[in-house]
Structures are given as C-alpha cells and as structure tokens.
Structure 1
Amino acid sequence: MIKRIIAFFFTLAVFAANALAQAPVVFNGGDNVVIGEHVSILEDTANNLTVESVKNHPGFSASTSQVPNLQLSKSSFWLKFTVTNKSDADHLLLWAEYPMLNTCDFYYPVNGVYKVKNFSDRKIFAERKYKHQDFVIDIDLAKDSTATYYLKVASTEQIILPLILGTPQKVAESTLTKNLLWGILMGLLIVMVLYNFFVFISTRDVSYLYYVLYTLFIGLTQASLSGYTYHYLFSNSPLLYSKVLIVFPGLAGISAVLFVTSFLHTKQRTPKLHKVFPIVALLYAVAIFLRLFGFDHASYRMIDISALSVTISIYAAAIITSIQGYRPAKFFLVAWTIFLIGLVLFVLRNLGVLPYNGYTSYTMQVGTAFEVTLLSLALADRINIFKAEKERSQQETLEALKENERIVREQNIVLEAKVTERTHELNESLENLKEAQSQLVEAEKMASLGQLTAGIAHEINNPINFVTANINPLKRDLDMVLDAINVIEEIGLSEASSTEKQKKIADYKEELDFDYLLVEMNHLIKGIHEGASRTAEIVKGLRIFSRLDEDDLKRADLNEGLESTMIIANNLIGNNVKIIKEYGELPLVECYAGKLNQVFLNIISNAAYAIEKKFEGSEGGALKLETYIDGDNAIIKISDNGIGMSDETMRKVFEPFFTTKDVGEGTGLGMSIAYNTIKKHHGHLLVKSEVGKGSEFTMQIPVIFDASGQV
C-alpha cells in the first residue's frame, strides 16, 4: 500500500515537472507553426497576477491541444511559451486568430526585464499597427536565440485561441487567403440574399423573406465571430461590436425558427413539435436582452442553450416532414446536415481532435455556404411543386369544365323550356307590378286631390258665404227702393200742388231713411263684388296649379306656381304660422309645371304637418319660401321650423312608402314622387334638417340658355 502511494506521488511530480517544462517552439522558417501544444496555461481567477508573480508560478499546466480551449470564464488566463529561432529571420509575428479578446497583453523580455504591449477588441480599430481583425503581435528574436513570452487574455466570450507563429510574409499570405475565402462566402451570401429578396417581392411568399433574414443574420453572425464586422462596420464602436456578438446570433436563431415553421409547415405537419419553436425563439430573445443590458456571460450561456435547442428541434422537424414525403423537407434536411457536419468538424478542430490546418479552419464557413445554397434550391423546388400542383389543378379544372359543358348542353333543352315558362310568369308579374305601381301613384294623386278639394272648398266657401249673406239684405233694400219709386210715382201723378208733392216725397224719404238705404245698398254691392273677385282669384290659382297641359314641356313662372300652391294649401297652414316669401326674379323655366306644383304641395303640406306637431296651433311657427337664380339653376327653397328629422329619417325620406306620419295620415309616396319629378327635370332635390329645429328642402331646376344668353 505504501509503495502504491509513493508511486502515485512520484508520477504526480513527474507530471508537474513536465508541465512546467513544456517543450519550446523551434522555428526553422518556412510555413507558419501552430504553437498550441507548446503553451502552458495558468488561470488567474482573481485577475490580480502580474508578470513577475507568474514567472515561477507552479500553477501552469501544459496544453495538449493545438488550439487551447479556455472555455467561458470570468478569469484571466496566462499563456506561457518559449521560442527558439533557428531561421534567418529576426522578426517574427505571433498571430492570435481570435478577434474577441477583451484583454490581450503580450509580455516580452528586454535585457531580462519584461515589457508589455496591450491589445483589446474594446479599442478603436484604427489604433492597431496591423489593420487586421485578429491580433498580430511583433516578436523580435535573433537567430539561434531563445526567449520566453507571456500572453494574458480575457474575454466575455468562450476563448478558443489558435496561436500561429510565422514570418510576416507567411502570416500575410495566410491572412490574405482567409480574407479571400471569407470574401467568397460573403459574396455568396449577398447573392443569395438579393436573389431571394427579389423572388419574395415577385411571389410574396413569406418563406423567402424569412430565408433572406436568416441568411443575412447568419452571415453577420459568422462575420462578427471572425471579427470582420469589427473591422469594417464597428471599427469606431467597440462597445457596439461586443453587443452584436450575441444580437446577430440571436436574430439569426429567431429568423431560423420563422423560416423553418413557414417552410416546413410545422403547424400542420408537426403540431406538437411546432409548440417548441416559440419557446426557442423566446430563449434567443432573452439572450439578446441579457447582452444589451450588460449580462455578457449569461447571454453567452443562453445563446449556447438556444442554439442547442433550435438545432435539435429543427433537425427533428426536418426528419419528420421528410418521412411524411414532403419533398422540400428532404432538401432542407440535406442542407441542415451539411451545415451541422461543418459545425461539428469546426468544433472537433477546436477541441484538438482534428488538426489545425487550412482545411479544418473553414469547415463551418463551407457548411454555411452549402446550407444557404441548398436552402435556396429547396425554396425553388417548392415553387416547382406549387407550379406542378397548379398545372394539375388547372387540368382537373379543365376536365371539370368539359364535364360541366356536357351537362349544360344536356340541360339546355329543359332550361329553355323553363326559361320560357318563367318569362311568361315574369311578364305577368311585371304587368301586375306596373298596375300596382299605377294604383299607388293614383292613390297618392287622390290623396293630393283630397287636399286640393279641401283647400278649394275652404278657400271658395268664405267669399261665397260673404256673397250669399249680402244677397238677402240687398234684395230687401231693392224691394224698398222699388216700393219708394211706386209711392213717389203715385204722389207725382196726384193733383196736389208741387209744394205739397215735394213735401210728401220728402216726408216719405225721411220716413224710409232713403239716404242710408242707398249707402247700405252700395256697401252690399261692394261686398258682393269683393267675394266674386276673391272667388275668381281662387279659380285662377286653381287653373295655374292644376295645369291641364302638365304632360307637355312648356315655359312656366315658378314663382306663380309656388304662389298658386300656397293658395291651395292655405287651409293646411294654421292661422298662427308666419309666412315669409322671398321671391327672386326667375326667368320662365321649361318644365312640367303641374308636376312641379304637385312637388311644391307635397313639401308645403309636410312642412305644415311638422310645424303643427311642434307648436300644436300656438304661435311661433314659420314657413319660408325663397327663390333665386344660381348660375344655370333656378333655386326653390322651402323651409320650416318644425320638429325636424333625424339622420336616419333623412337617409330614408325619399324612399317609397317611408313615412313618419301616423297610420291614415300619409301613404309614404309623396316625397318619393317629388324626388323622381325633380330628377325627371334633370335637377336635384336636397334636404337639410335637425331634430327640433326644422327642415329645409332645396330644389335645383336647370335653366337652359341659348347662345345669346337668353332663356
């Protein structure tokens, strides 16, 4: 047992000695040398070690990988390596091919004292000696000389640090090759983005838009991880560059989720798996949020978790939809597989399983190029599928149309017979409809005739009563005059003297009150004359209103027609209603005068009804009639201060059978007939109204002028 313990500690001591005595890098010139296996590594968890304190520090451990993987840590790492220069060049370059180092301090000996050169991705790019996104460090070492160097590094990202030693020419050749390959990749991605964006504009297929976003952000992600966005986009904004290291991958992951769900139709084809994708997108969003608010290490871990989740989810969805026979999914599966192979090879290189060389350095980029190309082909193949489905659908539609044509031909005879029968029935229905329409119009005319009759009876009755009342007194007075003539004749024929005759006649006239009798007879005759004149005026108004020639277009005085309508409608308007007439000078207008008078009567009767409803016979009601010329139109306005109309009533006021009057008070056809009459005159009938304030109807009747400006 004691021997085993001694052997264990002996082995441990040998291991420690080997760790501290890591073999130096012997540079013989020629190609660049990857020195990862010649490096010893010390983790500074407290971030307080100095170069003097780490010279003989026992905590250094030898790197066993070509590319040291320092993981994600808040610690600083010291890398120690020794270089023996056997080449003819005394000026070498150390190329640290990892652009995301927040701290990169290079310690080099000068006469036994270590001096330092400070590098960082948090500095402005223009401050660098070598204008490259990676860290390129000068090493001055004479031929056959040996020196030990220290490199202190720290980063908020996971540090995978390839260290390459070479001459300036060879390092320049390698960086040039790297830039050239990256330029080819970026060019390919830009072509794919532009091409598929134009396809999206023409097809409006949202899958193309998601593909464009995914390709754009995956390109920006890889360009950021390789430092190119720091070099070309954010050279003066190092802080912004540190943010996009997570923001771009996060947006790429979200775009990938959107593209996969749209392209593979996961909601229909893999409904259970589809529910996972919003969660993955949320993880990416959380990673972006953490980086934007300064939680750098947490954001990196979250992006790792999101990437693992989205990779598994997308791969599972692609396999399931491929098994279901969805052909575009097979393209997608091949593309995603190639991308994953490139990514795995890249990781294996970083872990030291694969050697670090020109082939393994660009496996992820090559995988990305194949992926975006195959995905573009998959989208194009989907268009071909849609095209084939459309052609098949069109063929089926054509066959269905041919079958329908055959059916139509067979049914034509039956349909023609039915059409003839239905046409006969329709003609009968139309005749019945015309008859019903005529009856309704006649009913409205009869209603208007009733108003007309009532108006005439009311207007003529007063003067006729006045004449009738004066006839009997006039007859009585006339009898008295005749009797007086007989008496005077008898006195004149008597044998009495002239003086006696004159005295008897004077006495008789005084007894008869002859002078007053003459005055009374003159007054009665004047009253009869006034009644007869009023009756004649009413008859004239009736003649003007009725216009027996109303079916002919003739020139008419609209003011005269409006005034005659007021005579007819006088009985509808209460005695307490104020009538305001503002008649302008109107030319004779070619119109159907009788029909226009009917329109005037309908509007005036409605106005009288509205005033009566509001004032109920008391004072305050007003009816205004206004006419004037406006350009080529004669304007007739009839307004009242009655109950007014709501917006809904105004919208329906010209509809047939619509009425707000009580049952038996109106047919609902008056305003419809008025509207159609004005329209027949090529005019307009407008209405403005407000509940509680009244209504205003405006009629615009065109006036036709000749070339000289005459009507």
Structure 2
Amino acid sequence: MIKYLLLLTLFFTTLFAEQTILIDNNSTIEKFKISTYEDKTSSLTIKDITSIKEFKEVGNNVSNGFTNSTFWYKLTIKNRNSQTIQRYLKLTESIMDKIDFYIYSNNKMIKHKKDGVGYFKEGQKNYLERPFIEFDLKKDETKIIYIKISSLYPMFNSFQIYDKNELDKFELEYTTIYAFLIGSLLSLALYNLMIFFYTKDISYIFYVLYSLSFISWQTSMSGIYPFDTFSDTQSYYFIGASIPLLVAFLTFFTNHILDIKTMSKKYYHTLNFIGGFYIILAICSIFAFEP
C-alpha cells in the first residue's frame, strides 16, 4: 500500500513540477513550456512573485487579448553543455507597453532590464525594438528568468531562445519581410495616386489615404523606418490613431468606387456616417491618451 502511495505522490509531483529548459549545443529553441501568472491587480512586485507557487504551465506562444492585468512569466534554464554558453531570450513582438526582465541565480537577482514603449524617455531618441535579454550559463548552471509584461494593445507574443547568430538572422528576416510588405503597399499607394491625377476620381485619394494609414500602423508595430524611433511614449501611441483612420478611408473608398449613391442613398449616407465616426474616433484617441 505504501509503495503505491509513493508512486502516486511521485506521479503528481512530476505532473505539476516546473519544466526546466535544457540547453546544450542547440543554437535555437523555439518550442518549450513557460510558467505564467496573471496579476489582476497589477500591483505585485518581483519579491511577491518569487514567493508565489500558483504559476501554470503554458506554451511559449501566448495570447491574452485586451486586458488590464499584468502577466508574469517564468523560465528555468539549465546549461548541459561542457562550456559556458551565451544566449538571448527574445520576444517576437514590439507592441508591449512595459516589459521587465529579472534574472535569478542561486535565489539572488543578478540582472534587471526594462524594455518597451512605456519606458521611453521624453526628449530622447528611443528605438522601437523587439525586447530581449542576454544571459550566460556556466557548465551545469541553472538560472531563472522572470518576465513582467503589461500592454495597452492586445497582449500576444512568442518567446524564443537564440544564440547571437540566430538572433541576428531572425532580425534580418523579420525586417526584410516587413520591408517587402511595406514597399508593396507603398507602390500601390503611388499607383493609385497617379490614377487620381489622371482621372480626378476622388475614390483613389481615399485609397491612397487608406494605404498610408495602414502603412503607418504596420511600421509602428514592427519598428520599420520612419517609425523606428520616437521622442517619448506619447508620440508612439499617437500613431495608433492610424487604425480608426484606415477604417474610415476604406469606408469612403468603398462608398465611392462602388458608386453606392446611385444604388441606395440610404446605404451611401450610412457608410459616410460610419467613416465620419471613425474620423472623430481617431481625433478623440489623440486627445484622450494618457501615458
């Protein structure tokens, strides 16, 4: 009987134990488990978090939508290599408001790094980046990394572990893909601008304005020039006004290019009202924002 009780205890201990991420010669780790805790009060400190046991295990691709909560994440990482290794814990998205990285070794904090647009300093040249923290591990050494994240935008992200070469490769591929996307959209905007000059049809101006709003939104999300540096937090969130603007201009474009007015004046005025509403929403979002 005692034997079965011990086996049962061992089973549940293993089931709820936190997974340790083992690193040897692998330069990239893209799939692993991470522990998370939702702080609904957004008031807990790192000292509070280190004593909490109610973390739950999830995948390293996380999505929590719009929320006022602060989310904490925890990784336990061990070096199985025979030599000291250097790695980077990378977040794939840059739209988080505030990110705090804490590295613990032997129950002692050895590093704290602040990142995210919420930490932009006024009057400085603040670079928009996909947050990361560098760490090293000696042979058989184990470290714990805590990540605290809050966001005004939907909270979604992916955690990845890279060495320096793979980190540079990720950044290059990410920037290249987005640069190609932005370049294609800009080409379409210029093409429609040329059509407008030729036809004088206002529909194409609305498409150009829609494209520029969409481009502004995407570049501010990904840190592509010219929205890769900002003077402060507020100037970054001002770009968020491009989201209701793109909806407004797309509505106006649809209304005119399909000539809705000749088919139904009711729908024509309704679409104009919707477009006008989003214009007002964009203006209100600029004046209502509080950093």
Residue of 245, 260, 263 corresponding to 2:257: 263
Q: Distance in 1 between matches of 2:280 and 2:14?
A: 46
In structure 2, do the counterparts of structure 1 residues 127 and 109 end up closer, same or farther at CA, with 3 Å as the change threshold?
farther
Q: Deviations over 1:90-112 (max 9, x none)?
A: 21111112212221110002453
Residue of 126, 134, 137 corresponding to 1:138: 134
Secondary structure of the residue that 1:99 maps to in structure 2?
coil
In structure 2, do the counterparts of structure 1 residues 258 and 148 end up closer, same or farther at CA, with 3 Å as the change threshold?
same
Secondary structure of the residue that 2:96 maps to in structure 1?
coil
Aligned to 1:67: 61
Matches for 1:646-685 after TM superposition, within 5 Å: none
Q: Does the CA contact (< 8 Å) of 1:29 and 1:166 recur in 2?
A: no
Q: Does the CA contact (< 8 Å) of 2:128 and 2:230 recur in 1?
A: no
Q: Distance in 2 between matches of 1:144 and 1:286?
A: 59
Q: Does the CA contact (< 8 Å) of 1:40 and 1:79 recur in 2?
A: yes
Q: C-alpha displacement at 1:231, in angstroms?
A: 4.9
Determine whether 1:79 maps to 2:67. Answer: no
Residue of 185, 200, 216 corresponding to 2:181: 185
Aligned to 1:157: 153
Q: Deviations over 1:248-284 (max 9, x none)?
A: 1111111101111111112223555444423432442
Q: Does the CA contact (< 8 Å) of 2:100 and 2:114 recur in 1?
A: yes
Q: Does the CA contact (< 8 Å) of 1:29 and 1:167 recur in 2?
A: no
Q: In the alignment, residue 278 of structure 1 is paired with which amino acid?
A: N
Q: Deviations over 1:313-351 (max 9, x none)?
A: xxxxxxxxxxxxxxxxxxxxxxxxxxxxxxxxxxxxxxx
Q: Distance in 2 between matches of 1:117 and 1:286?
A: 39
Q: In the alignment, residue 72 of structure 2 is paired with which amino acid?
A: W
Q: Distance in 1 between matches of 2:285 and 2:154?
A: 14
Secondary structure of the residue that 2:61 maps to in structure 1?
coil
Aligned to 1:117: 113
Q: Distance in 2 between matches of 1:58 and 1:30?
A: 30
Q: C-alpha displacement at 1:290, in angstroms?
A: 4.3
Aligned to 1:47: 42
Residue of 198, 203, 206 corresponding to 1:210: 206
Secondary structure of the residue that 2:44 maps to in structure 1?
coil
In structure 2, do the counterparts of structure 1 residues 282 and 42 end up closer, same or farther at CA, with 3 Å as the change threshold?
farther
Q: Does the CA contact (< 8 Å) of 1:96 and 1:136 recur in 2?
A: yes
Q: Distance in 1 between matches of 2:199 and 2:45?
A: 63
Residue of 163, 167, 175 corresponding to 2:163: 167
In structure 2, do the counterparts of structure 1 residues 187 and 33 end up closer, same or farther at CA, with 3 Å as the change threshold?
same
Q: Distance in 2 between matches of 1:195 and 1:250?
A: 23
In structure 2, do the counterparts of structure 1 residues 91 and 203 end up closer, same or farther at CA, with 3 Å as the change threshold?
same
In structure 2, do the counterparts of structure 1 residues 24 and 285 end up closer, same or farther at CA, with 3 Å as the change threshold?
farther
Q: In the alignment, residue 67 of structure 1 is paired with which amino acid?
A: N
Q: Does the CA contact (< 8 Å) of 1:124 and 1:235 recur in 2?
A: no
- Runs (5+) with no aligned partner, structure 2: 1-7
Q: In the alignment, residue 120 of structure 1 is paired with which amino acid?
A: G
Aligned to 1:222: 218
TM-score by length of structure 1 reads: 0.36
TM-score by length of structure 2 reads: 0.83
Aligned to 2:5: none
In structure 2, do the counterparts of structure 1 residues 268 and 291 end up closer, same or farther at CA, with 3 Å as the change threshold?
same
Q: Deviations over 1:384-437 (max 9, x none)?
A: xxxxxxxxxxxxxxxxxxxxxxxxxxxxxxxxxxxxxxxxxxxxxxxxxxxxxx
Q: In the alignment, residue 193 of structure 2 is paired with which amino acid?
A: F
Matches for 1:512-523 after TM superposition, within 5 Å: none
Q: Distance in 1 between matches of 2:128 and 2:278?
A: 30
Larger C-alpha radius of gyration, 1 or 2?
A: 1
Q: Deviations over 1:528-584 (max 9, x none)?
A: xxxxxxxxxxxxxxxxxxxxxxxxxxxxxxxxxxxxxxxxxxxxxxxxxxxxxxxxx
Q: In the alignment, residue 197 of structure 1 is paired with which amino acid?
A: L
Q: Distance in 2 between matches of 1:198 and 1:102?
A: 39
Q: Distance in 1 between matches of 2:250 and 2:14?
A: 50
Residue of 237, 243, 247 corresponding to 1:242: 237
Q: C-alpha displacement at 1:142, in angstroms?
A: 2.2
Secondary structure of the residue that 1:68 maps to in structure 2?
strand
- Runs (5+) with no aligned partner, structure 1: 1-9, 298-711
Secondary structure of the residue that 1:217 maps to in structure 2?
helix
In structure 2, do the counterparts of structure 1 residues 192 and 135 end up closer, same or farther at CA, with 3 Å as the change threshold?
same
Q: Distance in 2 between matches of 1:169 and 1:219?
A: 30
Q: C-alpha displacement at 1:143, in angstroms?
A: 3.8
In structure 2, do the counterparts of structure 1 residues 44 and 290 end up closer, same or farther at CA, with 3 Å as the change threshold?
farther
Aligned to 2:21: 25
- The Cα RMSD (Å) is 2.9
**Greater relative CO (CA pairs within 8 A, separation 6+):** 2
In structure 2, do the counterparts of structure 1 residues 280 and 29 end up closer, same or farther at CA, with 3 Å as the change threshold?
farther
Q: Deviations over 1:500-527 (max 9, x none)?
A: xxxxxxxxxxxxxxxxxxxxxxxxxxxx
Aligned to 1:291: 285
Q: Does the CA contact (< 8 Å) of 2:105 and 2:143 recur in 1?
A: no
User: Which moved further from structure 2: 44-53 or 275-284?
Assistant: 275-284
Determine whether 1:99 maps to 2:63. Answer: no
Aligned to 1:410: none
Aligned residues: 278
Q: Distance in 2 between matches of 1:219 and 1:289?
A: 19
Q: Does the CA contact (< 8 Å) of 2:60 and 2:158 recur in 1?
A: yes
Q: In the alignment, residue 74 of structure 2 is paired with which amino acid?
A: K
In structure 2, do the counterparts of structure 1 residues 176 and 143 end up closer, same or farther at CA, with 3 Å as the change threshold?
farther
Q: Distance in 1 between matches of 2:267 and 2:79?
A: 59
In structure 2, do the counterparts of structure 1 residues 138 and 295 end up closer, same or farther at CA, with 3 Å as the change threshold?
same
Q: C-alpha displacement at 1:17, in angstroms?
A: 7.7
Q: Distance in 1 between matches of 2:227 and 2:236?
A: 10
Matches for 1:276-425 after TM superposition, within 5 Å: 276-294=270-288
Aligned to 2:4: none
Determine whether 1:252 maps to 2:246. Answer: yes
Aligned to 1:197: 193
Q: In the alignment, residue 183 of structure 2 is paired with which amino acid?
A: G
Over the matched positions of the two proteins, sequence identity in percent amounts to: 21
Q: Does the CA contact (< 8 Å) of 2:117 and 2:128 recur in 1?
A: no
Aligned to 1:581: none
Q: Distance in 2 between matches of 1:244 and 1:205?
A: 28
Q: In the alignment, residue 75 of structure 1 is paired with which amino acid?
A: S
Secondary structure of the residue that 2:117 maps to in structure 1?
coil
In structure 2, do the counterparts of structure 1 residues 111 and 58 end up closer, same or farther at CA, with 3 Å as the change threshold?
closer
Q: Does the CA contact (< 8 Å) of 1:79 and 1:151 recur in 2?
A: yes
Q: Distance in 2 between matches of 1:170 and 1:217?
A: 33
Q: Distance in 1 between matches of 2:231 and 2:199?
A: 40
